[in-house]
Amino acid sequence: DAGITQSPRHKVTETGTPVTLRCHQTENHRYMYWYRQDPGHGLRLIHYSYGVKDTDKGEVSDGYSVSRSKTEDFLLTLESATSSQTSVYFCAISTRTDPPYEQYFGPGTRLTVT
Amino acid sequence: AQSVTQPDIHITVSEGASLELRCNYSYGATPYLFWYVQSPGQGLQLLLKYFSGDTLVQGIKGFEAEFKRSQSSFNLRKPSVHWSDAAEYFCAVDISSNTGKLIFGQGTTLQVKP
């Protein structure tokens, strides 16, 4: 157990509203990641962080922003949710401090945008 | 572009039978390779990984995988499947050794017949 929690676990929101998902780790791991999972697509990387205030984009970053003001928390924000962002969102951490960065996943957040 | 292909979307095997799940990747350099398993409604669990060295790697739950550079493949195997192995399996490739950015295959759903 890598000590990863995600909140909320389920959320229903309306199109156009802002949404923030939280990923929390209990240890001071440097690398954190946000993925979305959709049928037929596997998991796709949205954003990742390699330290406090250090973030970068993944392959499906449009419409998402992230912040990391503390080592233990990595926030994913949908500024104005759209129906295409209905998905299951997973946070992951890497417990390694050098490559390769094997990753461990949180339980996921199911987001529905109506 | 880098990609990961799992040719079989759905596989059904009888309990006690052997299993092989296929994974092919497209990546120019020596890859870091992973297999994850996801039970329904759960997060992803790391089964095994290949970084370097012996091309046959052992993982948890009796799984193994073989890296074949000439075929760009990393197939997952298990000699005797148990009903509890029913789940979705994902192959992933690390496309950036500096940051751990993973590309996932679409997943293979395994059904086990009694």
pLDDT tens, position by position, for chain B (114 residues)? Answer: 788 999 999 999 999 999 999 999 988 777 899 999 999 888 899 999 998 889 999 999 999 999 999 999 999 999 999 999 999 999 999 877 677 889 999 999 999 999
Candidates A102, A104, A110: best to mutate against B (most CBs of B within 10 A) is A102
Tell me which chain A residue has its CA closest to the CA of residue B103. A44
The two structure tokens encoding residue A5: 């929690």
Q: Where does the pLDDT of residue A52 fall: very low under 50, low under 70, confident under 90, or very high at 90 and above?
A: very high
Q: Pick from B5, B93, B101: which is nearest to A92 by CA?
A: B101
Q: Is the pLDDT of residue A91 over 90?
A: yes
Q: Is the pLDDT of residue A33 over 70?
A: yes
- CATH number of the domain encompassing residue B74: 2.60.40.10
Contact state of A43 with B90 under an 8 Å Cβ cutoff? yes
Q: Is the pLDDT of residue A94 over 60?
A: yes
Shortest Cα distance, chain A CAs vs residue B23, angstroms: 13
> For residue A108, which residues of chain B lie inside 8 Å, CB to CB?
42-43
Instruction: Decide if B64 contacts B77 (C-beta within 8 A).
Output: yes
The pLDDT value recorded for residue A1 is 56
> For residue B57, which residues of chain A lie inside 8 Å, CB to CB?
none
> For residue B92, which residues of chain A lie inside 8 Å, CB to CB?
43
Give the tens place of pLDDT for each residue, A57-86: 999 999 999 999 999 999 999 999 999 999
Mean pLDDT over A24-43 rounds to: 93
For residue A25, CA distances in Å to A22, A61, A88, A94, B64 come to: 10, 22, 19, 11, 30
Instruction: Give the B-side interface with A, CB within 8 Å.
Output: 4, 32, 34, 36, 42-46, 49, 51, 90, 92, 94, 97-107
State the total domains in chain B: 1
* Residues A4, A78: Cα–Cα separation, whole Å: 21
The pLDDT value recorded for residue B13 is 97
Average pLDDT score, chain A: 94
Chain centroid to Cα A46, Å, comes to 7
Q: What is the CATH number of domain A4-113?
A: 2.60.40.10
Range of the domain at B103: 3-113
